[in-house]
Amino acid sequence: MKADFDIKRARAETRACEEIVHFNNAGASLMPISVSDALHGYLHQEERIGGYETAVKEGDALDNFYTASAKLLNCEADEIAYMENATRAWDMAFYSFKFKSGDRILTTIAEYGSNVVAYNQQSKRYGVEVIFVPNDKSGQIDIDALENLIDERVKLISITHIPTGGGLVNPAAEVGKIAKAAGIPYLLDSCQGVGQIPLDVEELGCDILCGTGRKYLRGPRGTGLLYVRQEMIEKLEPPLLDQHAARLISSTEYEIRRDAKRFEGWEQYFAGKAALGTAIDYALSWDIAKIRDRVYDLAEKLREKLSDIDGVHVTDEGIEKCGIVTFRTDQKDVDELKKLFAAEGINVSTPKGSGSLVSFQQRGLKELVRASLHYYNTEEEIDYFITTLQGILQR
């Protein structure tokens, strides 16, 4: 284990650590004390002095969401929009593209289910063609195949960085190089990446990136963020506009704002926004590269130990693997396993395919157990998890 990671601090600042073994961080992580306090403190003020009044008083905390996000992604604060989740962030960008019949979208086998729904909706409406770029032998997007598919029909490259149903990390920066060389807009769903791995939009070469608050960033539920590159903002007219996204000039005229807030709505989860800013500051205080190293290291240890158990099959693909560990067993179905783990104080989740349908179908998978680790998890918890699983499988 990396010696310089202050696990004592991580656990002392996470109230529930000593009560549960939380291996459901790709679902929603445990909030650290500072984030929980920021959220509840904000809500208490709304209760005592009023919602609008709190927004004025807490203006700096609300603005901090944008500056913290900009630091996280290496962009400008006005390239950031606050959203209620990653799906809406992605949607607001994706549905701003105007496709016509014969246009192509290139995406991945690992693509998130909601994104695939949206592609198909636009395909039905406008005749846009959706191409799933094949994977290479390792299970990540095949970069050569992607390059070979580039032609004048391709209007968008849109991929999932880390899928919901496995440990794969797609080579997002390599995809970015191809997109840039071809001058094709590049939309990156890094919902599972934000807070787990360093994300620099310049290195990634993406024009748009979406993320969620509640997963690896350890923010509250119902929060998310959208990054849109400055040059792209004014080219994208959001599918929905209100008087925050656009200024009403007369009974017939409006002007859409020039920053990424054009993708936001006026009414927002303000407490969540302030708390997500705190969560991002908190993540940055750890150094995201150190978070990645620790999470990857823990996950690799878990994979090794799982692989040593007869009848347990680890299903994570790719060259680079993250903190999401997935497996199935010959003996028990996943819902029963989840229940038995819960009875022993262990949280896991059980992806059933909808979030990663294309990948699951291609691999003949129906359902898996997902044990997703964060830096506050420990090797002792992994050992407890393994012993518990062995005990369950012997019953």
Ligand X SMILES: Cc1ncc(COP(=O)(O)O)c(C=O)c1O
Q: Is 192 in the site for ligand X (CB under 6 A)?
A: yes
Q: How far apart are CA 189 and CA 127, in angstroms?
A: 23
Of 24, 85, 96, 329, the residue at the interface with ligand X (CB under 6 A) is 85
Q: Is 189 in the site for ligand X (CB under 6 A)?
A: yes
Q: Is 351 in the site for ligand X (CB under 6 A)?
A: no
Q: How far is the CB of 375 from ligand X (least distance, A)?
A: 19
Give the position of tokens 């490259």.
157
Binding mask 305-344 for ligand X (x = CB under 6 A): ----------------------------------------
State which residue, 58 or 84, has the beta carbon closest to ligand X. Answer: 84
Q: How far is the CB of 364 from ligand X (least distance, A)?
A: 21
- For 225, the token pair is 């963020």
Q: Is 87 in the site for ligand X (CB under 6 A)?
A: yes
State which residue, 72 or 312, has the beta carbon closest to ligand X. Answer: 72
Q: How far is the CB of 384 from ligand X (least distance, A)?
A: 26
Piece in contact with ligand X (CB under 6 A), picked from 84-92, 147-155, 178-186, 326-334: 84-92
Q: Is 112 in the site for ligand X (CB under 6 A)?
A: yes
Q: How far apart are CA 112 and CA 127, in angstroms?
A: 21
Give the position of tokens 């506009």.
241
Q: How far is the CB of 300 from ligand X (least distance, A)?
A: 21
Q: What is the DSSP string of 74-129?
A: TS-GGGEEEESSHHHHHHHHHTTS---TT-EEEEETT--HHHHHHHHHHHHHH--E
State which residue, 160 or 350, has the beta carbon closest to ligand X. Answer: 160
φ and ψ at 10, to 5 degrees?
-60, -40
Q: Is 196 in the site for ligand X (CB under 6 A)?
A: no
Positive or negative, the Cα torsion across 104, 178, 163, 390? positive
Residue whose C-alpha is closest to residue 219's, from 269, 283, 279: 279
Q: What is the DSSP string of 296-365?
A: HHHHHHHHHHHHTSTTEEE---SSSB-SEEEEEESSS-HHHHHHHHHHTTEE-B---SGGGHHHHHHHT-
Binding mask 130-169 for ligand X (x = CB under 6 A): ------------------------------x--xx-----
Reported in sequence order, the residue ranges of 109-213 that DSSP labels E, i.e. its strands, are 129-133, 154-160, 186-189, 208-212
- For 355, the token pair is 């979030």
Of 86, 141, 217, 295, the residue at the interface with ligand X (CB under 6 A) is 86
Q: How far is the CB of 247 from ligand X (least distance, A)?
A: 29
Piece in contact with ligand X (CB under 6 A), picked from 34-42, 82-90, 151-159, 306-314: 82-90
Q: How far is the CB of 163 from ligand X (least distance, A)?
A: 6
349 alpha-carbon distance from chain centroid: 16
Q: Is 350 in the site for ligand X (CB under 6 A)?
A: no
Q: Is 212 in the site for ligand X (CB under 6 A)?
A: yes
State which residue, 88 or 229, has the beta carbon closest to ligand X. Answer: 88
Q: How far apart are CA 260 and CA 337, in angstroms?
A: 44
What residues make contact with ligand X under the rule CB under 6 A? 85-87, 112, 160, 163-164, 189, 191-192, 212, 224, 355
